Structure 1
Amino acid sequence: MMSQLRSNHRSLSVPGRAAGLTLVELMVAMTIGLVLIVGATQVYVDSSGAYRVNETTARLQENARYVLSVLEPDIRMSGYWGLTNHSDTIVGKALPTDAQSALGGAAASTCGVNFPLLLGFPVQGTNDSYTATCAANSAAMPNADTITVRRASAVTVPPASASGPLRVCSTHTSGLLVTDITGTFCQDVDAQINNLIVNLYYVDQSSSQAGVPSLRRKALTAGPGPAFQPIFPVPDEELVSGVEDLQVQYGVDLSGGGATSGAASEYLDAGATLTNLLTTATPPAQNPAQIVAVRIWVLVRSDSPESGFIDDHTYEYGDRLTKNGTTGDLTNVADNAKAYQPSLSADNSFTGVKRYRRLLVSKTIQIRNALIN
């Protein structure tokens, strides 16, 4: 009995081992956990940032490709008039010096006197300005170029189609510009009917995103109703947002004198020098200089600014050259010949121009109909 009591007393007097974590162990575990959380968060942030950059770059490339896919085929086909090779043989065409034609509509609404009818100018443009009499969408980019393309449509129009808009009826020897194709000439078995295509491309503000530049187009369009007469004012449409600048130069063949080579001797901006080469007797009047190619530069920027990013690239293109200096303001008329360096902008806000990513692309387009016009 006494032995049993001693045994029980001995077992009660020995304290049991404590279970759980000490304070030091708990703090070590918490520290390791925090390090893992911070690491995982940093990986997520870096991955998200890389994804956004890749997405922005892909969007820039997509927009640039789309712009070129619109401009390139249109410019390449300029000066195509159906079966006839020469715009001079098309009755109904006009010159800027001619009186206003009924086919051309009102001067103010058609972007200039006889603007759609200037078939002798299959490609035409302005340098660092928008000068068309038809109003821009809101405020055309002051230092961006414009280019106008005139041609016949690639797809022919069946003779039984309704009349209008402006159409080119052509044979191998002559042509006629009309809205009514029921006449004898257009219905001749040897005649071909094509729609007249006139597109003016320029840079303005986006219709859907405030403060975002875009490439826009004024296009000659058929109106509703059975007559399908051309719509005036010429409709304006946004092609793609994010286009910040468009620069154009024209490749001129100066060989003249009946020996046109089809190769550009030099590239010139639109203006008096180019106009004089195309219209004066030097080169010889019987075969004046011709525009045989068009070189375009398109500067595309992202739709949204990027926090922590500054675009420090220098963009030299078209008539924007570093030899003339650099500027951080693409809209400053006094700096229209300077290379563009967004990081020089005085606007340091989050939405300043330096906070956007950009992509500059260029393309030289051969005009296939230059040698036969």
Structure 2
Amino acid sequence: MTHKMGSNHGLTLVELMVSLAIGAALMLAGATLFLNSRQSYVQDEQAAYVQEVGRYSLRFLSRELGLAGFVGGVQQPELIEVEQTLLNGAELTPSSNCYHFLLNVAEGLSHFNNVTEQGLETEGNGSVTGRSLPTDCFSDSETLMRDSDVIVVRRVKDSPTVIQGAEQASVNATATYLSVVRYNEMFALNTGTASNLANDEASADIWAETDLWEYMPQLLYVRVRNSERCANDTFETVELCRLRLNQSGSGLAPTQCLVEGVERMNLVYGLDTDDDLVVDTFTEQPTPAQLKNAISTRLTVLARSDQTDSRYIDDKSYELGSVTFTPSADDNSCNDRIRRSMFGSTVLLRNMDAVGL
């Protein structure tokens, strides 16, 4: 009986090449799908970050601007007396110009247009105006964002700490308070210790007519902090920060940064020059006298992502008042790899002279 031996044939060269080609195509398709999915995730994540930063900063700044100049119902802030116990605090030095600047309660709002890295105000063409923030408001290591505005909002807390001698909350001995004595229209800024007359029997009648409001001015600005590297250039972290009074002693509290990702802010004010509560003219560089006639402001915030994306190029231009910012024209190549978005809102300045009186 004869048996036939079966023969096993392998893949031919053509079949092998076809198999490899199909496998390579499938791997390429899978890799492409993964990269596209990853890019879509990065894009969505950065867009969500920009939206969150923009909305938060716009809401915060809008609220502060709306309360600028609110001093517990006092119609003439220039009548408020700043007591010497504040001006001559033990922790103060003769160079504490920034502290005294924040105590200038007569000006509910101060504005510095398109500042330099050192806090000098400039016009739209970059030339300095001669106005500047006190140099001791910032540390030597701080760098302000060029061409961003700086504002100082002076106001009291939303609700009083004491109403007609009755405490609604504890009086902080070292905080700063606005004392409003109703019957004789006496208004003064002083420490919590000096303002609190609850245990002073000789002043019982005055205390029964006294309201205390905690005074909480804020200097709001955008600063730059170098923290990471992008290719051969420095990736600059930008932050919206504030400077306030110290509640645990006289002088200034340490700088507090509220949110990363705010690159610039710009304000354009609507001025009422004939007291009819209608905007007559707009300016982005108001004088202190003009600010008293401001009844609204157009607030614009430029927010950006916290990371670069090598597959994205920001070739847009952003109009911030008289300044046009084009990231792709910047010397730093990192700036055109960042996602950005502008956020804007119109805020009614309810407590400035033109509206409040």
Question: 8 Å contact 1:206–1:238 — kept in the other structure?
Answer: no
Distance 1:152 1:313, change over 3 A: same
Could you tell me how far apart the structure 2 residues matched to 1:84 and 1:275 are?
19
Could you tell me how far apart the structure 2 residues matched to 1:220 and 1:162 are?
13
Unaligned runs of 5+ in 1: 1-7, 95-99, 224-228, 279-288, 321-338
Report the Cα offset of residue 23 of structure 1: 4.0
Is 1:151 the counterpart of 2:155 in the alignment?
Answer: yes
Could you tell me how far apart the structure 2 residues matched to 1:149 and 1:367 are?
11
The alignment covers a number of residue pairs equal to 314
| Bigger relative contact order, structure 1 or 2 (CA pairs below 8 A, ≥6 apart) | 2
User: What is the aligned partner in structure 1 of residue 15 from structure 2?
Assistant: 25
Q: Residue 312 of structure 2 aligns to a residue in which SS?
A: coil
Could you tell me how far apart the structure 2 residues matched to 1:207 and 1:187 are?
54
Is 1:116 the counterpart of 2:102 in the alignment?
Answer: yes
User: What is the aligned partner in structure 2 of residue 372 from structure 1?
Assistant: 356
User: What is the aligned partner in structure 2 of residue 266 from structure 1?
Assistant: 281
Could you tell me how far apart the structure 2 residues matched to 1:89 and 1:62 are?
41
Question: 8 Å contact 2:246–2:252 — kept in the other structure?
Answer: no
Distance 1:347 1:200, change over 3 A: closer
Moved more, 100-109 or 359-368: 100-109
Identity of aligned residues (%): 25
Distance 1:53 1:15, change over 3 A: same
Deviations 1:111-157 (A, max 9, x none): 16x31321221011111222322242511123221000001101321
Question: 8 Å contact 1:63–1:240 — kept in the other structure?
Answer: yes
Moved more, 17-26 or 359-368: 17-26
Report the Cα offset of residue 18 of structure 1: 2.9
Matches within 5 A, 1:185-334: 188-206=207-225, 211-223=236-248, 229-230=249-250, 232-255=251-274, 260-271=275-286, 274-277=287-290, 290-320=293-323
Q: What is the aligned-residue RMSD (CA, Å)? A: 2.8
User: What is the aligned partner in structure 1 of residue 111 from structure 2?
Assistant: 125
Could you tell me how far apart the structure 1 residues matched to 2:72 and 2:82 are?
15
Deviations 1:202-227 (A, max 9, x none): 1112486672121111111311xxxx
Could you tell me how far apart the structure 2 residues matched to 1:62 and 1:154 are?
25
Could you tell me how far apart the structure 1 residues matched to 2:325 and 2:281 are?
24
Report the Cα offset of residue 197 of structure 1: 1.1
User: What is the aligned partner in structure 2 of residue 37 from structure 1?
Assistant: 27
Question: 8 Å contact 1:200–1:217 — kept in the other structure?
Answer: yes
Q: TM-score, normalised by structure 1?
A: 0.75
Q: Residue 318 of structure 2 aligns to a residue in which SS?
A: coil
Question: 8 Å contact 1:78–1:367 — kept in the other structure?
Answer: yes
Q: Residue 159 of structure 2 aligns to a residue in which SS?
A: strand
Question: 8 Å contact 1:78–1:369 — kept in the other structure?
Answer: yes
Q: TM-score, normalised by structure 2?
A: 0.79
Instruction: Give the aligned residue type for 2:321.
Output: G
Unaligned runs of 5+ in 2: 120-131, 198-202, 229-234
Selected match of 1:342 from 327, 330, 336: 327
